[in-house]
């Protein structure tokens, strides 16, 4: 999947609408506490500014559900972006309308304007054509650099491309260069590590890789469901009982496939899940009533480490235990160390694993950390991403920028 990027177009003096994913966490004082996603789009913004474009930035923040929520305005994000870029970022309190037109009229080439939270408008998540057209009217070219929302068919992520020529940002291009390889031309031996809570989120990924000669390592609440489907008594462990039939189907498919599916052999168990709660290590066939599995055990870790050590490529999405309740972050962190130590090409699919790697100062020891969680999963399932499919293919000779 080879898309045209901002490097392929002439943008001098043009208005460029850039969809970014600046959905970043804020503290109680309204300050950005993790600017990773903002930093990820700096190369795209720097490229456009260096070419003398007028850059119009649009993003969502949180889940305002189509209403104006004061705590979710983009102002703190604009301030942090200005600090990172070392230049002024104008902020408009509107998304479209005469106020935005006035702000654009006063915007010089090589300057930036950030629009208000795009999800304040209920038409955004409905992919309303009228709203997409209003956004498109602001610009001569659309750039999508928001890989984290590329799996959403919203007005600002895909609808606007019906009215403007559309190309990829440099972050989007980087994400796709790694993810295309992981899905279409993976290196073998391949290890796919999947954790988290919901079987439904990962079922498509498992099915995509089952026909491959690979090893799938399962942890987290999702693994509890598979263990229960295999017939083990899981005590009071969190499980998705409504997904047991689905899990049994996957286990049966795995028996017939070339892939090897590894479930936990032992687990840490607790009576009550909280920080530093009393715990034991038990085999998965020896979990007593009233106790819950909350992390992979040492035997499981050893089997996972052995698979990781032999890998040429590692794909990972989702924690392997109750990561937010130490010491039950142990399994996730030990696997993170094994992945970082490995010589394999490693691709981390966003989420809690990113925080674990950064906390351990290991993020520089993996090949690629994606800014998308759900987008990565949808891509690994073999789905088309709406925010990507609307961008123009490089097979075309070029793109004509409006204006």
- Domain 6-174+384-389 shares a fold with domain 188-343: yes
d(CA 385, CA 387): 6
With CA atoms as reference, report the closest residue to 159 among 185, 179, 134, 195. Answer: 134
Instruction: Write b or e for each residue in 289-306: b if 16 or more Cβ atoms lie within 10 A of its Cβ, otherwise e.
Output: eebbbbbbbeebbebbbe
d(CA 19, CA 24) in angstroms, rounded, equals 14
Task: Output the CATH code of domain 6-174+384-389.
Answer: 3.40.50.1260
State the DSSP H helix or E strand holding residue 125, giving kind and residue range, or none if neither: none
* Secondary structure (3-state) at 333: helix
| Topology annotation, domain 188-343 | Rossmann fold (3.40.50)
Kindly list the averaged pLDDT for each block of 10 residues, start to end, along the chain of length 403.
Answer: 92 97 94 94 98 98 97 98 98 98 96 98 98 98 97 98 98 95 94 94 94 96 97 96 96 97 98 94 97 98 98 96 94 96 94 85 94 93 94 77 66
Classify residue 383 by its DSSP letter: P
Radius of gyration, alpha carbons of the chain? 23
Which tokens in the block code for residue 297?
A: 């055990």
- For the stretch 54-99, pLDDT in tens is 999 999 999 999 999 999 999 999 999 999 999 999 999 999 999 9
Question: Is the bond into 381 cis (omega within 30 degrees of 0)?
Answer: no
Per-residue burial over 248-286, b if 16 or more Cβ lie within 10 Å, else e, is eebeeebeebebebbbbbbbbbbeeeeeeeebeebebee
User: pLDDT tens digits, residue range 276-294?
Assistant: 999 999 999 999 999 999 9
What is the residue extent of each domain of the chain?
6-174+384-389, 188-343
pLDDT in tens, 127-142: 999 999 999 999 999 9
% of the chain residues with pLDDT over 90: 92
- The whole-chain average pLDDT of the chain stands at 95
- At 18-43, the pLDDT tens digits run 999 999 999 999 999 999 999 999 99
Cα-based angle 186, 187, 191 (whole degrees, multiple of 5): 85
């Amino acid at each position: 999947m080879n898309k045209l990027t901002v490097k392929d177009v002439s943008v001098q003096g043009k208005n460029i609408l850039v969809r970014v994913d600046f959905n970043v966490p804020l503290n109680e004082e309204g300050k950005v506490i993790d600017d990773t996603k903002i930093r990820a789009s700096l190369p795209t913004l720097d490229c456009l500014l260096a070419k003398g474009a007028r850059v119009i930035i649009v993003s969502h923040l949180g889940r305002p559900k189509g209403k104006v929520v004061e705590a979710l305005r983009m102002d703190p994000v604009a301030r942090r972006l200005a600090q990172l870029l070392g230049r002024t970022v104008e902020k408009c309190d509107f998304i479209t309308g005469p106020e935005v037109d006035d702000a654009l009229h006063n915007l010089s080439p090589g300057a930036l304007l950030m629009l208000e939270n795009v999800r304040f408008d209920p038409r955004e998540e409905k992919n309303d054509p009228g709203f997409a057209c209003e956004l498109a009217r602001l610009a001569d070219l659309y750039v999508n650099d928001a890989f984290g929302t590329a799996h959403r068919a919203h007005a600002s992520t895909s609808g606007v491309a019906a009215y403007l020529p559309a190309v990829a940002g440099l972050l989007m291009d980087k994400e796709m260069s790694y993810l295309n390889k992981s899905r279409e031309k993976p290196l073998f031996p391949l290890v796919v590590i999947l954790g988290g809570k919901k079987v439904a989120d990962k079922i498509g990924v498992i099915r995509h890789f089952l026909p491959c000669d690979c090893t799938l390592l399962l942890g987290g609440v999702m693994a509890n469901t598979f263990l229960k489907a295999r017939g083990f008594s899981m005590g009071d462990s969190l499980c998705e009982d409504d997904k047991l039939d689905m899990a049994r189907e996957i286990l049966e498919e795995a028996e017939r496939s070339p892939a090897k599916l590894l479930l936990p052999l032992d687990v840490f168990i607790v009576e009550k899940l909280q920080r530093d709660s009393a715990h034991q290590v038990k085999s998965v066939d020896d979990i007593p009533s009233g106790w819950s599995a909350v992390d992979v055990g040492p035997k499981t870790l050893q089997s996972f480490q052995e698979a990781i050590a032999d890998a040429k490529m590692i794909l990972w999405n989702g924690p392997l235990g109750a990561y937010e309740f130490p010491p039950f972050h142990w399994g996730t962190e030990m696997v993170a160390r094994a992945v970082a130590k490995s010589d394999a090409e490693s691709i981390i699919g966003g989420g809690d694993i990113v925080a674990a790697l950064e906390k351990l100062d290991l993020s520089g020891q993996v090949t690629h950390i994606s800014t998308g969680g759900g987008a990565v999963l949808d891509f690994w399932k073999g789905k088309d991403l709406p925010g990507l499919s609307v961008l123009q293919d490089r097979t075309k000779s070029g793109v004509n920028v409006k204006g």
